[in-house]
């Protein structure tokens, strides 16, 4: 029996590789998790994985950057922001027990 905590896997770079409700570690060092609905949204609306890379990148200034920025939605902490194709959608996440959880909230602007 080991005293070591199990290692948290790195965040995959494709939505198809993400298991719902599994905890991953982003490049920023943040723990993230996704609902099945969020994974389905990612597969449907983020075929190039831009939102996934933005989530992996972490916090960025709101103007002119792809990454995580504060969410204006009630009860949500952050949203993914991308530039270019697909940039009209945002995936919103909230901190739940220290993990940035994406339950499947998506908005457009």
CATH number at residue 82: 3.30.2310
Number of domains in the chain: 1
pLDDT at position 83 is 87
Q: Could you read off the pLDDT of 11-55 as tens digits, one per residue?
A: 999 999 999 999 999 999 999 999 999 999 999 999 999 999 999
Predicted confidence (pLDDT) at residue 6 exceeds the cutoff of 70: no
Domain that holds residue 32: 15-108
Does some domain include residue 5?
A: no
pLDDT at position 5 is 55
User: CB-based contacts of 24: which residues, under 8 Å, 6+ apart?
Assistant: 8, 9, 10, 11, 12, 18, 31, 32, 33
DSSP-derived secondary structure letter, 65: -
* Residue 43, helix vs strand vs coil: helix
Gap between the Cα atoms of 106 and 61, Å rounded:
20
């Amino acid at each position: 029996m080991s005293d070591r905590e199990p290692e948290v896997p790195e965040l995959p770079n494709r939505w198809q590789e993400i298991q719902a409700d599994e905890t991953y570690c982003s490049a920023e060092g943040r723990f993230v998790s996704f609902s099945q609905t969020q994974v389905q949204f990612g597969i449907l609306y983020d075929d190039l994985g831009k939102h996934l890379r933005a989530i992996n990148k972490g916090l960025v200034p709101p103007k002119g950057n792809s990454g995580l920025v504060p969410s204006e939605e009630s009860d949500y902490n952050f949203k993914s922001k991308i530039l270019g194709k697909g940039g009209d959608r945002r995936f919103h996440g909230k901190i739940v027990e220290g993990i940035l959880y994406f339950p499947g909230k998506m908005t457009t602007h």
